[in-house]
Structure 1
Amino acid sequence: MTSLEELASPIRRTSLAEEVYETLLEAICGGQLAGGTKISAVALAEKLNVSRTPVIEALRRLENDGLIEASTGKQARIVEVSRDEISQIYQMRQILEGAAAEAAARRMPREALDDLEARAQDLDAGRKRLDWTERALAFDLTFHDVIAGASGNERLRADIGRYRLLVRSFCRMSGTRENLEQAFAEHLKILEAIKSRKPAAARRAMVEHIASRLDSVLQDVVDHQAETKERS
């Protein structure tokens, strides 16, 4: 019979693999690891001061995400995160999160709606705070996760989480005060549609919101990657 002590070790390895994955993901999406760069599990393990196992797991996930290509031997190659690739990621978000918003408008519990509205009101009231942008980014994470959860479909929620993880670095790079103000206004429109129990309007508002965020990201991220290449 398996004991709890025996289960603890794989959980730690999974957590470490997640940290390695997120570290590499941010480096790739942020342009620090440029397209075409060859990397090895051994070199990465030494650089990150971890064993090869979590690195290999992280590289396997990145390959599934289409961000690296396995090559012969023990090396992999970074895939260029192009405008088309970014657009495709956001198109998937529109499909998934549009469906989640539609479902949430039908079934989100009143207490969850009240809590999300209270968080929005608190963020709105604190616009003059010096840490408003950080709080707006945190609200964005909560907002999308709550709606995904309210869909009632755990597989949908998991896929939304995966794609939002892929765009996390993009969100940080394009997280100017102006962009966050606009995104917050779009959040309020989505919230109003969900609160009014209008599924079609909620889906439409979410799709439009993600399209608007894509426009900002394509401008800011592509410019950032070009600057990174010039410095390298």
Structure 2
Amino acid sequence: MTNINFNGTKVVTGLNTRLSYVHLLEPAAPLGGGKEKYSASVIIPKSDTKTIEQIEAAIQNAINSHLEKFGGKMPNMNAIKTPLRDGDTERDDEAYRDSYFLNAKLKEVCLKAFNKIIEPNKAFRAKLQNNIRHAISQLNEEQATKLDRELDRLQILLINQTPYSKDYDKITGEFNKVQQQRDELQLTLDRQNEVVQKNVNLQNFIDTNSKQLNEFDEHLVRQLIKKITIQETYCEVEFQNGDSIKINL
């Protein structure tokens, strides 16, 4: 491993990094058959020595911070399987030639993400409850009721006017203006209610699952997870409500 001054576990890859065999929206079985999985391969050309060195250092840093898993001692790096794989020796595929690659098994990532928020996680639960309180506080139902009453008042005035009366056009203009305000407010209320519902959905999921999940549920993924960002040593799982957690690969 090349010694470089890099202390983190997050690496921004070079411009020539590619994703291959991407199955993020729909699961797919591997070549040769097998169980369908959400997955992707991150392919880094061997010529991108800066990225490769940083990934190797990130792996080393991750091991250093979890030495208890190796009996408190630095393991033999040649004897353990790391996320960084050699495309020339492990893949008979032109896409992997002269490259290293990392695999992300997103089905496992999703399960780990769900289980991470099910387990005692006071900080995440407190943030979720705060999200719900804040979203509800932003709802301006009182203003909506006020505008509805004004629309009713103007509509009654219009009914009592003829199209040729001197105040008809003025009242019509006021009615259209208030109606536009009400429509714009409704769009805002709809967005705010959606925010509330996304947080409530996640809260309900946590409340109804006291035990760790063992089976992948595609419906839950579509309902609760917005996107998964693949990094070199971890995946960042963003839930529909905007909160996110990191899952080590």
TM range (shorter): 0.3 to 0.5
The TM-score normalised by the length of structure 1 is 0.33
Q: Which has the higher strand share?
A: 2
The TM-score normalised by the length of structure 2 is 0.32
Higher relative contact order (CA 8 A, sep 6+): 1
